[in-house]
Amino acid sequence: MRVTARLRKEWFILGIVLVIAVARLEPAVGVKGGPLKPEITITYIAVSAIFFNSGLSLKTEELTSALMHVKLHLFVQIFTLVFFPTAIWLFLQLLSITPINEWLLKGLQTVGCMPPPVSSAVILTKAVGGNEAAAIFNSAFGSFLVSNAVFIASALIVLFLTLGSSSSVPFTSIFSQLFMTVVVPLIIGQIVRRYIKDWLERKKPPFGAISSCVLLMIIYTTFCDTFANPNIDLDKFSLIIIVFIIFSVQMSFMFLTFLFSTRNNSSFTPADTVAIIFCSTHKSLTLGIPMLKIVFAGYEHLSLISVPLLIYHPAQILLGSLLVPTIKSWMVSRLAPTVGSPAPPVPCILHSSVEKFFLITSMFPIFSKTQQAAVLVASLH
């Protein structure tokens, strides 16, 4: 019984392992142009289904109130489009003197310039029970900002890489895709909800499970593209180092967003913190790859430049999924004192340095005992 219960609880993580294994065995099935036609089923249908599902399950007043969280939205957008690329650029100045493949490093910089994704951050936020409305708004707004003004992302890439592109930017088609796959399904979901609200409240459909299944499809096709890419021609040392850097960057930035959003004067609730962690650190593969093909059109090293983004996308989903139970337990523990109280949620403040230490080390279990001790000493100051 315990094993069965455990499997039911961790079915999503097991599903991730399964779809990755299947993608590795036969990547041709899920690649672009393959039998599953992910360029249609994933890019349009799957993403649209996610936001229709979100619109159907999200109360209108919650989405409206999310628009008023100006401080939260500013935090996410500034972190994503200013702090992230700048920090990566500074870090790469140190790595430029190493033997790591320079085109992989350039690709890592382009990752920092990308907008938030339109699916994974929302689903992971919902899986934890965080501020889904804020996650939807920031994912849509971040992609909208870059999709309708692609020169922003292009300017960031040129600024940090000193590489330009004379190609015209098809912002109209990108905006149309974003509008049709995000905004329209969300609005339709909200409209449908108005007519079947009573039925939804009575039946309580498993919206979270539905979104998770769709995300598994996205993970599968993503790994199919990664495993089927024949142009990855680089030394193993550079690839291993890049993978390590990507996971380190994600964990470090999740750690930073957690610290910033739980300060005594932050005024963010635990649910807000969850949305901030995922929306601030996730990057869009759907918008990223087409953008790279535009900015680096004609570059023979385009395939190498795209490798970090191809790694970053599944890595953010894997890492986020693994941290869901830990973050959810923390959020529940922070909200527990307010259960049954008419007062608004208590701001997400960690009063105890020891409490902060145990949360941080539980989120990042790869810390050694020495590193854990160092974190504890730092937190006490």
Cα angle 50, 56, 59 (rounded to 5 degrees) comes to: 120
User: What would the pLDDT profile of 248-264 be if each residue is shown by its tens digit?
Assistant: 999 999 999 999 888 87
Closest CA relative to residue 81, chosen from 73, 70, 92: 73
Is 189 within 8 Å of 56 (Cβ atoms)? yes
Residue 106 in 3-state DSSP?
A: helix
Average pLDDT value for residue range 271-295: 78
The separation between the first and the last C-alpha atoms of the chain, rounded to the nearest angstrom, is: 46
Could you say which DSSP state residue 118 is in? S
CATH number, domain 2-332: 1.20.1530.20
Residue 165 in 3-state DSSP?
A: coil
Instruction: Please give the backbone phi and psi of residue 222, each rounded to the nearest 5 degrees, phi first.
Output: -65, -45
User: What would the pLDDT profile of 59-105 be if each residue is shown by its tens digit?
Assistant: 665 556 566 777 888 888 889 888 999 999 999 888 888 888 888 89
Alpha helices of the chain — where are they, by DSSP H?
2-9, 11-25, 38-40, 47-57, 60-67, 70-78, 84-95, 102-112, 120-128, 132-148, 150-161, 171-178, 184-203, 207-228, 236-261, 270-281, 285-295, 302-335, 353-363, 369-379
> How many alpha carbons lie under 13 Å from residue 372 in its C-beta half-sphere?
14
Q: How far apart are CA 89 and CA 39, in angstroms?
A: 32
Is 116 within 8 Å of 76 (Cβ atoms)? yes
User: What would the pLDDT profile of 143-182 be if each residue is shown by its tens digit?
Assistant: 555 444 344 555 566 556 654 444 444 556 656 766 777 7
Closest CA relative to residue 165, chosen from 287, 292, 302, 295: 295
Residues listed for the chain: 381
The model scores a pTM over 0.85: no
Residue 263 in 3-state DSSP?
A: coil
Is 158 within 8 Å of 106 (Cβ atoms)? no
Q: Count CB neighbours of 288 within 10 A.
A: 24
